[in-house]
Structure 1
């Protein structure tokens, strides 16, 4: 290509158009090499290094971004002897994504970013100024690829069926190529549109649909395809599944006036074994002061959870209303335990369940009452984890579960030899659900825990656990094979 022609073209392209060209070139030039490019001259140098600085390839690029004036300049300034024998074509996948970007309004872009918020880190989404920026983030998170655009299709169906039809057309046109794996190693196939349709699978057939699947806004469209696994259940696919951290306080400073918590080692062992079987990495902290508990929680909040499916935190200690005690008798507010993992502070946990189980009294009040058929536990082996303060509510943020051994201001009980009433029942019910063929989610498990614990009478008193949650999907814990 003539350098003077390229220089003139550089003068006529703005930064937004250069960014669009970089996106279209990503199939042939690694994304990292395209980062930081702000001018067409810089892009031309990268294309030259990749032997793509060819009039045919440039024509495809400029035609795609609707710059026919530049196409003419390229054709007038090209020297045919310098052209490559074979030039790659722009992928239909990139052209399809560009066409969606080209037709997407600011309002629809905001809707797309809103729908992606649980699946992508908030900060990259906030920095995304165009649909192409969003598509890049989706590609980085493997939400879309040239082999699988079904996720984008479902998102677009939520707010713009015309844009969804563009993806649908791409899926129709490439169905055969995408399902033929003979030329591609480990290439996943696009789901057939028969599998995506719920109400009218036959209407998606290429041979039977005269419009090739494209419909106007006036034409009724089927409901957006939904996957029970994606829409109803949190994903548990990583190995390990995530991190389970257990804070186990048994021995307290004499000046704290808090007694030894006999039996807590049984709770720690039960939780440790159970979450190992669920596929979690388990970390145990024994006998920490309040400052050390908060320090460990702060460090944990700075962890990169990108390769984790969930976080589990268990605290076994004495407590009071809205807090637990360190072994020095100082308080750690429950909010201090949960806030480091909110979306703002731990973006890599966005859209992932954060499960907290607290075995500690929440006050010194007794729950009275006795129902016929209630089981009376041996009083000699029972103790209360009691020693007021803030509420023990979950943060005002999605995807949290706070499982409390007791309601606010009341005692919880622990057997000195076999462990606490709440944690032992929790482990039994989680084991029962894990061994069941049913997909029983954790909220159903906690209902069983509530029922079983409430049947008992401990030191002539009752105990009623209390789960609180902002979960947006179902949590199902099964043993790893």
Structure 2
């Protein structure tokens, strides 16, 4: 039986360059890279599939799967006589899928990465990959391929990619972790079955196994159970609030900071944090208007405190700042990384293995402010919405069990109302208050905070803000209210 070339030609003519690149990427396990790199037309790609026996007369199952993977259901139906429902049934059959779960994971990640996030990947990989391979035209799939060539990404080596995703977009990291939980467990079960062993009562109970085919779209195992940090002590731990409002000393002592205004509205944030973390059974320790030296002294007190009977430590920092630092009220700088690393297992042994949570809201000062006018719920005008901090992504220790919630993405401003507090802290407190009683974990809550803050707009300039968490948590972090 001859190949249906008219149908293949019709399919090829409908595929654009990005879709062809996706099909080539998904086929890398079957066709060598050196051959795929030379292919510039869909017709040539189909010829390569035929040479490998992946397209044969009477068997277009692999091409159907590829079109399904890239969501070209129209071509699947019109040219190949299949449908979404048929492919979903087919891919539930064990061993039927020819595209690996790993490669499909990377493709799905690439589909969910924004242009700004792609640029962040390129920037963070600047020392690992040749600059010529990170040109402005390089797509995310191109970046993945270069990472594979360099040996820093592979089916058994996702650690580098996870670190990047933790710094750029937590939802991407969660998807990788779901993949690892799902397929790591399936491999363990298959190994036990091949040995002819039941593996004992715990062998198959570690993670629930779904009946959906491993490679099928939408098959992420939502029921997988992550271990949860212990959170039963009373109190849970200390919630340290460093609240800097008055910067008169900075204006007097540092000429270049003479335009730095007081942080009006910060007390609204501090009150919200006190209210919420008190409900979550934390001991509140608030310090106001500290110099840089006093910030260090205060942090050192809690670093040296015995936390052995506590389950967690929280630190909320409200101050002026700039990239990677916060200001004391005297205008002197304190690196955020200096504060977070004070609580690593080496520096604070009684918190080893326990979650250390930092929320940072810091404004840039008057010289870089961009005042805007917004309407409050009462209809009054608030002309004192000010820009807040820009941060680098290296403020979080590489050690496990840390969470750093930043008000904004690297190199972007965030906003503080002199009457209502900051967008970020207010959204954070509202979502903690709403979601903790429902048993939601902190990363789910912070995703909701991201959504809410990203929807806000400062008029008339349509300014936006996007918070960003970074973390090295190993378990789910849930704050029970009981």
TM-score (norm 2): 0.49
* Greater Cα radius of gyration, structure 1 or 2: 1
TM-score (norm 1): 0.49
